[in-house]
Amino acid sequence: MNAMMLSDYDVFLFHEGSLQQAYQFMGSHVRKDSRGTYTEFCVWAPNARSVSLAGSFNDWKSAGYELQKWNREGLWAVRVDGDLTGETYKYEITTLSGERKLKSDPYGFASEKRPQTASIVYELEGFQWSDEEWLEKRSGSSIYDKPMFIYEVHAGTWKKKDGKFLSYKELARELIPYVKEHGFTHIELLPVTEHPFDRSWGYQSTGYYSPTSRYGEPHELMGFIDECHRNDIGVILDWVPGHFCKDAHGLYQFDGSFAYEYGEERDRENYTWGTANFDLGKGEVRSFLISNARFWMEMYHIDGFRIDAVANIIYWANQGQQSPNEGAIGFLKKLNQAVFEYDSSILMIAEDSTDWPQVTSPVHYGGLGFNYKWNMGWMNDVLDYMETPPEKRKDGHSLMTFSLLYAFSENYVLPFSHDEVVHGKKSLLDKMPGDYWQKFAQYRLLLGFMCAHPGKKLLFMGSELAPFSEWKDLEELDWHLMNYDFHHKFNSYFKDLVHLYKGAEALYELDHQSGGFEWIDVNNSEQQIFSFIRRGKKENDHLVVICNFSPIVYHGYKVGVPHADSYREIWNSDAGKYGGSDQVNPAPLSVHHETYHGKAGSVVMTIPPYGAVYLKPDYGRGE
């Protein structure tokens, strides 16, 4: 057995923090040359006394399988004769203090199924992709002026079969048609990197290069993504580059020292989550994570990343006063630059709860370099307002209007994510005050308002069923609810709403430009009615939106509108077929050509209780 030959330039980039394809030589790889077939292993363990290879191929006895230390910075490598595909292995590391550790491969492409923790030699090449048309379409268009409605999914609890997880293959057969039927444009997968504990939902990972074996093999995940693309569905990976779990076989104290994490306890220990923070200023850690993003794009054709806990990254987590972490901020900028240099059509979405400026501005303009950011402020304000009893909502009127003061300062996604329906927060439906009917009416209103508000959209799985119970992270969704009339009608409502949203350019083409939104009446706190205009790119392409957050029906209500001959009601959340009281406007609404609400004309209409109404202009038909 001889150590592999490494490119001096790649080694330099790896330690410097700029290597974008470290997975090409780190980890395990089966190679062939004129001398035959062999398997190479390479690992970074800067403070190890020695590193050996133990696995199923040597009866877990590492003697004779020692890795050679390649350089003083701590790269270790070995070449083993033969094709070891399918064999399990770990690195046996002897620390400077003489302690022996068995560690899974940080760059391992596959892992044993929990509770086993070894890595598996796995060749990713050989999968036959058939998504060329999707990739070409993605690269040739911009998402900014397209509809985007993301379905956030935890693969382990979307649906189960005989109490067990669906496999990647089964998810492809069942989840993709469901997502397509409901009109979602993207699936966002809660982290599918390998993780030891089911209830961490994937956020505490040990295998950043290894899709979890809970649902099948890596090629089967590729098959799922390929099938998504064949059905015009993008796939976003929830990704956690800020911190990692501390299980003994993982990255924590990998070689007896703090190789991947900060050396100082106050910086390293993430007490909130029981994890360790990556040292994002260290070159080898940067190469590990930036290469990991490139890996998912190149090898799995991932369409984007939702970056978890950006606030924890950009600020030092465990200091009494928040101060910027310049090393981590530099990492985020370098990450985003690397991603967009590889593919400018990738989604880089920051889950950021701070007011850090220019999160979605390019790095060369002084920004962090993301192209989207979750609008956590909008989500918190809107849910606070909705949870307020209707008779008190007039005092919180600004909760619904404040977001428009900053809606165009970043490129936003409006999220109703898993975080809002767990840990006693209640489901979205159950957050609504009032009786059974009122809860459903207000939930329909909430989503009608969401679809009309500037920004792309995200909804956590199951919310389209209107469950009363919050997410149960060990059980499947409440599919039995479709046997109940109001839940069935709500599901129909949601599907129709998403399809309408996707077909109405005015609701998305100018999401990130102030010209795409205009208030009609922003001050009607007494009646709790908000009216505004959404505009598309084409001249006169607009919708008038009226949302009533009170339980009162208003007949003969006058609303200012732009010039047109008449308006048609194309959406009413109170329609009887959706479970509403059917206070609709079936006939065209004639425009009275007099200035009202500062607009050129007005219409007189019925405003439904807890209702969202969309009006579309007609031209050339006369009054």
Tell me which residues are annotated as active site: 308, 351
DSSP string of 331-399, one letter each residue: HHHHHHHHHHHH-TT-EEEE---S--TTTTS-GGGTS---SEEE-HHHHHHHHHHHHS-GGGGGGGTHH
Residue 353 carries which side chain, given as an amino acid letter?
Answer: S
Tokens of 35: 């001398």
Determine the Cα–Cα distance for residues 378 and 403; give it in Å rounded to an integer.
6
Question: What is the bridge-based pairing of β-strands 164-165 and 149-153?
Answer: unpaired
53 neighbors 78 (Cβ within 8 angstroms): yes
CA distances from 479 to 170, 329, 423, 488 (A): 17, 43, 21, 10
- 232-251 residues labelled b (16+ CB within 10 A) or e (exposed): ebbbbbbbbbbbbbbbebbb
Selection from 525, 523, 535 nearest residue 561 by Cα: 535
Give the CA angle between residues 383, 386, 389 to the nearest 5°: 135
DSSP letters, 78-144, are EEEES--TT-EEEEEEEETTS-EEEE--TT-SEEPPTT---EE----TT-----HHHHHHHHTS-ST
Measure the CA–CA gap between 152 and 616, rounded to whole angstroms.
Answer: 31
Q: Which residues contact 59 (CB under 8 A, 6 or more apart)?
A: none
Which of 53, 64, 122, 52 lies closest to 89 in space, CA to CA?
Answer: 53
Contacts of 589 (CB under 8 A, 6+ apart): 566, 567, 568, 569, 603, 604, 605, 615
